[in-house]
Amino acid sequence: MGMTMTQKILAAHAGLSEVQAGDLIEAKLDIVLGNDVTTPVAIGVFEKAGFTEVFDNEKIVIALDHYTPCKDIKSAELCVTARDFARKHNIRHFYDVGTVGIEHALLPEQGIVGPGDCIIGADSHTCTYGALGAFSTGVGSTDMAAGMASGLNWFKVPPAIKVELTGKPGPCVSGKDVILHLIGEIGVDGALYKSLEFTGEGVAELTMDDRFTISNMAIEAGGKNGIFPVDDRTLEYIKGRFTREPAVYEADPDAEYERVVTIDLSALEPTVSMPHLPSNTKTVNEAAGLHIDQVVIGSCTNGRMSDMRKAASILKGKKIADGVRCIIIPATQQIYLDCMEEGLLKIFVEAGCAVSAPTCGPCLGGHMGVMAAGERAVATTNRNFVGRMGHTQSEVILASPEVAAASALAGCIADPRALIEE
């Protein structure tokens, strides 16, 4: 019986010739990841279990990105715990204020993850690295602790859904619109504990940043992971970054899929997710005119350089609408620097935006953009659950950077294509 990409990677890391959906396996890990929220919990488990050494100080990554720069005493204490552990165990990939980026943008940028890897992270959006042809998935802090100590993790091999992409995206349609459309079609539990495997001629039409965005939100459909084939774009992206030998896997022609979903990229419209589920999708024109109070452009989903450029192209020479707060968050220090060198920060500030240091901040209602009761935001983040960005009576609408920027100018949900046509 043939295997999917995910199954081949898991089989290789378990030292098996083949695996099937439902198998329980123990697999070797290439990377174990944690952040300032989850790592301190994992450290507590690690030390309570009596572990005194990590399995490999070069395969553990700790990124202090969620509440940093620290917003309060509690977040500062969590960071101290992580810093002390990183120093004690000489963790090579430790990122603090001044070097940190939002973890799921930082790791690919720094070449820490790559094709064929098996990665766990104590953060649900660890599935981002599937864009590189890796198996990556979110776990709890207990699994992170075990992974740090042993370099191993138990997995139940997931069944798969094939997402076949055809056509070419039109203006202002990007990876965010693709994944929101998919979640709207199959629901937030449509891929529960399944691998979303993206294939088809349309893959070649997607940039790496598109693919990162799509894989990032696989979890929003319940997916165990989301994964793309390794092609020339993937190899070009990792050139000069990823120093290990990439392992390239392809699904077998007779691989089994529970379902096939076909998406014609040329038929997609800019799409938004209305409160309070990512699956509550509408086209931008169906939602146009809805009043907003805040816009957030950033996060591990859409804080990369291409996202900054898209936002800047719409905001250039214009002003944010009265009564709207627009917050821009470049996802890493390098992206911040690139924005500075390209003049994007000037565009943002002159438009009336607040530009933040890299942080997850507002995405999880942490800081740098928490909302009060009755307020509504358009955000390029990944979740819009009740209370996600502050008060339980606030609302979050998920959108692409283009839609978010156009909405910031209009003071309501707006179609960015109208601005491009001007």
Percent of residues, the chain, with pLDDT higher than 90: 97
Task: Give the pLDDT confidence score for residue 1 in this predicted structure.
Answer: 76
Instruction: Name the residue among 163, 157, 141, 214 with its Cα closest to residue 400.
Output: 214
Q: Per residue in 20-76, pLDDT tens?
A: 999 999 999 999 999 999 999 999 999 999 999 999 999 999 999 999 999 999 999
All domains in the chain, ordered by first residue = 5-264 (3.30.499.10), 271-416 (3.30.499.10)
Task: Give the pLDDT confidence score for residue 346 in this predicted structure.
Answer: 98
pLDDT exceeds 80 at position 420: no
CA distances for 189 relative to 111, 171, 195, 213, 317, angstroms: 32, 30, 12, 19, 42
Confidence of residue 283 (pLDDT cuts 50, 70, 90): very high
Task: Give the pLDDT confidence score for residue 55 in this predicted structure.
Answer: 97
pLDDT exceeds 80 at position 159: yes
* Mean pLDDT value across residues 237-260: 95
Most distant CA pair in the chain, distance: 65
Task: Give the pLDDT confidence score for residue 100 in this predicted structure.
Answer: 95
Q: Tell me the residue type at 288.
A: A
Task: Give the pLDDT confidence score for residue 275 in this predicted structure.
Answer: 95
* Mean pLDDT value across residues 147-174: 97
Backbone angles phi, psi at 79, to 5 degrees: -65, -40
Confidence of residue 421 (pLDDT cuts 50, 70, 90): low
pLDDT exceeds 60 at position 422: no
* Mean pLDDT value across residues 279-297: 97
Burial environment of residue 90 by CB neighbours within 10 A (0 to 12, 13 to 18, 19 or more):
exposed
Task: Give the pLDDT confidence score for residue 58 in this predicted structure.
Answer: 97
Please state which of the ranges 166-170, 209-213, 364-368 shows the lowest mean pLDDT: 364-368
Q: Per residue in 298-341, pLDDT tens?
A: 999 999 999 999 999 999 999 999 999 999 999 999 999 999 99
pLDDT exceeds 80 at position 80: yes
CA–CA separation, 115 vs 118, rounded Å? 9
pLDDT exceeds 70 at position 140: yes
CA distances for 192 relative to 3, 75, 185, 219, angstroms: 19, 32, 14, 8
Q: Per residue in 179-211, pLDDT tens?
A: 999 999 999 999 999 999 999 999 999 999 999
CA–CA separation, 248 vs 250, rounded Å? 7
CA–CA separation, 197 vs 164, rounded Å? 8
Q: Confirm if 223 and 195 have CB atoms less than 8 A apart.
A: yes
Neighbours of 58 (CB within 10 A): 12
Predicted TM-score (pTM) of this structure: 0.96
